[in-house]
C-alpha cells in the first residue's frame, strides 16, 4: 500500500513566512513529504527562493528581483511582515 504524499505550497506558509527555511522546516514537522517553492534570478544571476517577480509583497524592499544583486536581496527583511519573531 502506497502512503499518501503531502506537498506544502511554499512551505507551511500559514505558519511561517513563505519560501523560507522556517516555513520549510515547519512543513516537514507537519508531515509534508514535499515542499513546492519558487525561484527567481537576481541581477547577478544568483538563484533566490521567492515566489513573486517583485520583492514588495514578502519583504521590506521594493522592485523586481532581477534588479537586485544577491547581496541586496540577502539584506532584505523577509519575515517581520509575517510576525515579529521572524
Question: Element (H or E) spanning 21, and its range?
Answer: helix 21-29
Q: Residue 8: beta bridge partners?
A: 35
Active site residues: 9, 51
Cell of 59: 519583504
> How many angstroms separate the CA atoms of 49 and 44, rounded?
15
Amino acid at each position: 500500500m502506497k502512503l499518501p504524499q503531502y506537498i506544502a505550497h511554499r512551505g507551511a506558509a500559514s505558519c511561517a513566512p513563505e519560501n523560507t527555511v522556517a516555513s520549510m522546516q515547519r512543513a516537514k514537522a507537519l508531515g509534508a513529504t514535499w515542499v513546492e517553492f519558487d525561484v527567481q534570478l537576481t541581477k547577478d544571476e544568483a538563484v533566490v527562493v521567492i515566489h513573486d517577480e517583485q520583492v514588495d509583497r514578502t519583504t521590506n524592499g521594493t522592485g523586481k528581483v532581477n534588479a537586485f544583486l544577491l547581496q541586496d536581496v540577502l539584506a532584505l527583511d523577509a519575515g517581520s511582515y509575517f510576525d515579529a519573531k521572524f
